[in-house]
Amino acid sequence: MYRQDQIKPTGAWDVRRKIKIPALVHQADAMAVEGKIGSLPGVHSVAADIGKRQLIVCYDITGSDYQSIVELLADTGFPPLDNWLSRRKKSWYAYTEATARENAKAPPPACCNKPPK
Protein backbone atom coordinates (compact mmCIF):
# COMPACT_ATOMS: atom_id res chain seq x y z
CA MET A 1 0.00 0.00 0.00
CA TYR A 2 1.28 3.43 -0.88
CA ARG A 3 1.72 6.14 1.70
CA GLN A 4 -0.68 8.39 -0.26
CA ASP A 5 -3.51 5.91 0.30
CA GLN A 6 -3.09 6.22 4.06
CA ILE A 7 -3.65 9.99 4.09
CA LYS A 8 -7.23 10.56 5.15
CA PRO A 9 -8.99 13.56 6.71
CA THR A 10 -9.82 12.91 10.35
CA GLY A 11 -11.30 16.14 11.71
CA ALA A 12 -14.45 18.02 10.81
CA TRP A 13 -12.55 20.73 8.91
CA ASP A 14 -9.85 18.54 7.34
CA VAL A 15 -9.61 18.15 3.57
CA ARG A 16 -7.46 16.05 1.25
CA ARG A 17 -6.25 17.63 -1.98
CA LYS A 18 -4.32 16.22 -4.93
CA ILE A 19 -2.12 18.73 -6.73
CA LYS A 20 -0.51 17.87 -10.08
CA ILE A 21 3.09 19.13 -10.30
CA PRO A 22 4.78 18.53 -13.70
CA ALA A 23 8.27 19.39 -12.40
CA LEU A 24 8.17 16.69 -9.70
CA VAL A 25 10.50 14.05 -11.17
CA HIS A 26 13.16 13.18 -8.55
CA GLN A 27 12.92 11.79 -5.04
CA ALA A 28 15.04 14.70 -3.74
CA ASP A 29 12.52 17.15 -5.20
CA ALA A 30 9.69 15.26 -3.54
CA MET A 31 11.39 15.38 -0.15
CA ALA A 32 12.05 19.12 -0.50
CA VAL A 33 8.43 19.83 -1.44
CA GLU A 34 7.11 17.63 1.38
CA GLY A 35 9.30 19.49 3.87
CA LYS A 36 8.18 22.93 2.71
CA ILE A 37 4.47 22.13 2.59
CA GLY A 38 4.61 20.15 5.84
CA SER A 39 5.91 23.23 7.66
CA LEU A 40 2.76 25.26 6.92
CA PRO A 41 0.38 25.73 9.86
CA GLY A 42 -2.65 23.46 9.67
CA VAL A 43 -1.04 20.86 7.39
CA HIS A 44 -1.37 17.38 8.89
CA SER A 45 0.31 15.19 6.27
CA VAL A 46 1.95 15.44 2.86
CA ALA A 47 2.93 12.72 0.40
CA ALA A 48 4.47 13.04 -3.04
CA ASP A 49 3.89 10.49 -5.79
CA ILE A 50 6.68 10.83 -8.35
CA GLY A 51 5.12 8.31 -10.76
CA LYS A 52 1.93 10.35 -11.05
CA ARG A 53 3.75 13.66 -10.49
CA GLN A 54 1.31 14.75 -7.83
CA LEU A 55 1.30 15.91 -4.25
CA ILE A 56 -1.36 14.79 -1.79
CA VAL A 57 -1.96 17.14 1.11
CA CYS A 58 -4.26 16.76 4.10
CA TYR A 59 -4.84 19.98 6.03
CA ASP A 60 -7.23 21.80 8.32
CA ILE A 61 -8.98 24.59 6.39
CA THR A 62 -9.22 26.76 9.50
CA GLY A 63 -5.40 26.82 9.68
CA SER A 64 -4.34 26.78 6.02
CA ASP A 65 -5.85 27.01 2.55
CA TYR A 66 -5.29 25.74 -0.98
CA GLN A 67 -4.16 29.14 -2.27
CA SER A 68 -1.29 29.42 0.25
CA ILE A 69 -0.13 25.89 -0.61
CA VAL A 70 -0.14 26.66 -4.34
CA GLU A 71 1.74 29.93 -3.78
CA LEU A 72 4.39 28.18 -1.67
CA LEU A 73 4.81 25.53 -4.37
CA ALA A 74 5.30 28.22 -7.01
CA ASP A 75 7.79 30.07 -4.79
CA THR A 76 9.87 26.92 -4.30
CA GLY A 77 10.09 26.30 -8.05
CA PHE A 78 7.41 23.60 -8.37
CA PRO A 79 4.33 25.35 -9.78
CA PRO A 80 1.21 23.22 -10.11
CA LEU A 81 -0.22 22.27 -13.48
CA ASP A 82 -1.93 25.26 -15.10
CA ASN A 83 -4.70 24.08 -17.38
CA TRP A 84 -8.44 24.63 -17.53
CA LEU A 85 -9.32 21.84 -15.10
CA SER A 86 -6.73 22.84 -12.49
CA ARG A 87 -7.88 26.47 -12.61
CA ARG A 88 -11.47 25.31 -12.17
CA LYS A 89 -10.49 23.14 -9.20
CA LYS A 90 -8.58 26.05 -7.68
CA SER A 91 -11.61 28.33 -7.79
CA TRP A 92 -13.90 25.56 -6.49
CA TYR A 93 -11.53 24.82 -3.59
CA ALA A 94 -11.32 28.53 -2.74
CA TYR A 95 -15.12 28.79 -2.67
CA THR A 96 -15.70 25.66 -0.57
CA GLU A 97 -12.93 26.51 1.88
CA ALA A 98 -14.20 30.07 2.37
CA THR A 99 -17.70 28.73 3.02
CA ALA A 100 -16.42 26.12 5.47
CA ARG A 101 -14.32 28.73 7.32
CA GLU A 102 -17.44 30.89 7.74
CA ASN A 103 -19.37 27.87 9.02
CA ALA A 104 -16.58 27.04 11.48
CA LYS A 105 -16.86 30.54 12.97
CA ALA A 106 -20.67 30.51 13.16
CA PRO A 107 -22.35 30.28 16.57
CA PRO A 108 -24.10 27.00 17.40
CA PRO A 109 -27.69 26.72 16.19
CA ALA A 110 -30.69 27.04 18.49
CA CYS A 111 -31.78 23.80 20.13
CA CYS A 112 -34.75 21.91 18.69
CA ASN A 113 -35.41 24.48 15.93
CA LYS A 114 -36.64 27.05 18.45
CA PRO A 115 -35.58 30.66 18.00
CA PRO A 116 -33.28 31.99 20.74
CA LYS A 117 -34.87 34.11 23.48
Residue 1 lies in a domain: yes
Q: What is the pLDDT of residue 113?
A: 67
Distance CA(106)–CA(109), nearest Å, equals 9
| Strands of the sheet with 14-20, listed across from one edge | 14-20, 54-60, 43-49
Residue 54 lies in a domain: yes
Residue 117 lies in a domain: no
Residue 11 lies in a domain: yes
Q: How many domains does the chain have?
A: 1
Residue 22 lies in a domain: yes
Residue 26 sits in a domain of what CATH number? 3.30.70.100
Give me the domain span that covers residue 32: 1-81
Taking only the tens place, the pLDDT of each residue in 61-100 is: 988 899 999 999 999 999 999 999 999 999 999 999 999 8
Alpha-carbon distance values, 31 to 8, 48, 95 (Å) = 20, 8, 30
Residue 95 lies in a domain: no
